[in-house]
Amino acid sequence: MTIRGDTTRKRLIDATTALVREVGYANVRTRSIAVAAGVAEGTLYRHFADKRSLFYAAVLDRNAPIVAATETLPSLAGQGTVLGNLLEVIRNLAQLQQDLLPLEQAMIADPTLAPPLGERAQMPLEGPPNDIALYLAAEQNLGRVRAECDPTLAAISLLAMLFGLAVHPVLGNDLAESELLSASVSYFVDGVGVSPAQPKLTA
């Protein structure tokens, strides 16, 4: 592809992301995408096999920085506090998810959009759960995470909570900075209960 071609491709992806966020995938028309991208409708099909493929390209495009953002998490084990480290990462993810979420939502709501096997590996959140699980395991070795905790299940729980919070429009759009998010992560790390039977001592 030439520079011109790459530019067009990028504009199509950006237009798609923006439109999905605005009106939802089901209401995004190829016509609208073309108009928003400033190209002819037919041009879309020089760059993507069909509407669905463009949609995936958009998801993957947006996902890259998200995956990258959690890659460094495991190396932070032992530094700062567990809560601080997780909160930092989750905030990052929350921020980036703003773009990704509507796209991901559509995929969940419409089985037809199930990703082709070849691309599933790079789909959203493939990296983060793993990175978070690795981090929790590392902290577990250092005694800063409870021994009974299953790092994998815990990572899924945490991300599920983030997803749930992001989806439900309880608050405005500033989830990343919201008190709700930090409170949630705090509950995840420290729990809400007071369990006398479990004397949590020092690490």
Q: What is the dihedral of CA 145, 151, 155, 161, to 10 degrees?
A: -60
Cα(60)–Cα(195) distance, integer angstroms? 43
User: CA separation (Å) from 154 to 44, 148, 188?
Assistant: 42, 11, 9
46 near DNA, judged by CB under 7 A: yes
What tokens does 139 get?
């902290």
110 binds, among its own copies, DNA, none (CB under 5 to 8 A by kind): its own copies
Phi/psi of residue 154, nearest 5 degrees? -65, -45
Minimum CB–partner distance for residue 111 and its own copies (Å): 4
Cα(171)–Cα(194) distance, integer angstroms? 28
The site for its own copies, by CB under 8 A, has a size of 57
14 near DNA, judged by CB under 7 A: no
Q: Which stretch binds DNA (CB under 7 A): 1-9, 68-76, 113-121, 165-173?
A: 1-9
- 102 and 58 in contact (C-beta within 8 Å)? no
Among 43, 98, 105, 130, binds DNA (CB under 7 A): 43
Residue type (1 letter), 42 = G
Q: Which stretch binds its own copies (CB under 8 A): 33-41, 55-63, 66-74, 100-108?
A: 100-108
Among 83, 88, 115, 176, binds its own copies (CB under 8 A): 83
Instruction: Give me the sign of the Cα torsion angle 183, 18, 104, 32.
Output: positive
17 near its own copies, judged by CB under 8 A: no
Q: Which stretch binds DNA (CB under 7 A): 29-37, 73-81, 103-111, 139-147?
A: 29-37
- 11 and 33 in contact (C-beta within 8 Å)? no
Residues interacting with DNA, by CB under 7 A? 1-2, 4-5, 7-8, 27-31, 39-47, 50-52
Residues of this chain that bind its own copies (CB under 8 A): 22-27, 82-83, 102, 105-106, 108-112, 136, 143-146, 149-150, 153-154, 156-157, 159-165, 167-168, 170, 179-180, 183-184, 187-196, 198-203
